[in-house]
Amino acid sequence: MEQLTPEKMRLRILRILDASRSIAVGEELLLRVLFERQLHPTHKSLREHLEFLLEQELITMERRGVAEWSPRISERGVAVLQGLESCPIGVEPPGR
């Protein structure tokens, strides 16, 4: 099981959301994808990473049902991944 720094985990989450832009990805599916990649965040830690990315305006969140949210990468998040905008502190810069 690979242990990532919070910065690297947030970059992985952004990359997953970028790759899945055409479909809605809920937290459960995102957790499953991370588990398949041998990463094992808890629901709580995933939510903390998502909240951080939301505060940095790298993602948006839409409510799905009563307790689940659907994160989507924002235009700023795409620009950061493409190197068009500077990467905020707290997220591993792409290309490292």
Question: What is the spatial distance between Cα 72 and Cα 61, in angstroms, rounded to a whole number?
Answer: 6
Tens of pLDDT, residue by residue over 12-35, are: 999 999 999 888 788 888 999 998
Tens of pLDDT, residue by residue over 39-84, are: 888 999 999 999 999 999 999 998 877 777 889 999 999 999 999 9
Query: What pLDDT is stored for residue 96 in this prediction?
Result: 66
Query: What pLDDT is stored for residue 37 in this prediction?
Result: 87
- Report the SS3 class of residue 73: strand
Number of Cβ within 10 Å of residue 43's Cβ equals 10
Residue 10 has pLDDT above 80, yes or no: yes
List the domains of the chain with CATH numbers: 6-81 (1.10.10.10)
Number of Cβ within 10 Å of residue 78's Cβ equals 16
Question: What is the spatial distance between Cα 85 and Cα 68, in angstroms, rounded to a whole number?
Answer: 30
Question: What is the spatial distance between Cα 89 and Cα 25, in angstroms, rounded to a whole number?
Answer: 25
